[in-house]
A = this chain, B = another copy of it.
Amino acid sequence: MNSYPDAIKTLIDELSSLPGLGPKTAERIVFYLLKQGNGTINNLTESLAVLSKSVTICKYCHNVSTYSPCQICSDTKRDKTTVCVVAYPQDVLVIEKTGDYRGLYHVLGGTINPVEGITPEQLKIGELTSRIQKQIPKISEVIIATNPDLEGESTAMYLSRLIKPLNIKVTRLAKGLPMGSDLEYADEITVSNAIKGRQVM
């Protein structure tokens, strides 16, 4: 015997190609599933099938949702004049959890990253500008909430240059010291951002 049975090999290969999973963890998962038996495997199979069937993308904000338009876009109580632009669906949940934002969202599906070949055309940027031009009620502010890293910053810059000429207020999430952090151990750019963005008390 030089290798596992085909069924095991195939599943290990497929699991290894998922993000965050190496061949060793994939192997461990497969043998765990075999040990747990058919019940666990069937549950997983079914959940995967339900995922592929029941999750759709909202036609307005491009967030994942069970319906289109999604719960947020169809909520009449939300402020439709403000749109928060995020890179991924996960980011919507992070902002929603604060309870401090009552506007709408726009999910880009990533950030501009020339190294990995991700150009503005592959993101929902055209959809954003057409939404700004067409949506009723009119959008008055676009909050750019991409990550404060290289790709997030350049995407924010790109969007700002694109949207400002449309006479829309463009804002960016504040950069500064995170709560609970220690000035002594903060990096220079963070401290520098905290000084530049200092606020009157």
Residue of B whose beta carbon sits closest to that of A71: B1
Number of A interface residues at 8 Å Cβ cutoff, please give it: 55
Q: Given A1-B93, A41-B52, A97-B2, do A19 and B28 touch, yes or no (CB 8 Å)?
A: yes
Contacts of A109 in B (CB 8 A): 35
Contacts of A11 in B (CB 8 A): 47-48, 50-51
A41 touches B48 (CB 8 A): yes
CA A11 to CA B48, docked complex, whole Å: 7
A66 at the interface (CB under 8 A from B): yes
Contacts of A66 in B (CB 8 A): 5-7
A103 at the interface (CB under 8 A from B): no
**A 1-38 binary contact with B (CB < 8 Å = 1; else 0):** 11111111011001100111100010111111111001
A1 touches B92 (CB 8 A): yes
Q: Given A48-B48, A50-B7, do A31 and B89 touch, yes or no (CB 8 Å)?
A: yes
Chain copies in the assembled complex: 2
Contacts of A48 in B (CB 8 A): 11, 33, 41, 44-45, 48
**A 43-59 binary contact with B (CB < 8 Å = 1; else 0):** 11101111111110000
**A173 CB to closest chain B CB, in angstroms?**
19
A54 touches B5 (CB 8 A): yes
Residue of B whose beta carbon sits closest to that of A11: B47
**A148 CB to closest chain B CB, in angstroms?**
19
B7 touches A47 (CB 8 A): yes
A88 at the interface (CB under 8 A from B): yes
Which 6 pairs across A and B sit closest by C-beta, in order of nearness? A20-B25, A41-B52, A5-B66, A11-B47, A7-B54, A7-B50
Q: Offer 10 A-B interface pairs, CB within 8 angstroms, sorted by A.
A: A5-B55, A7-B66, A8-B64, A11-B51, A19-B32, A27-B90, A31-B89, A33-B48, A34-B51, A41-B52
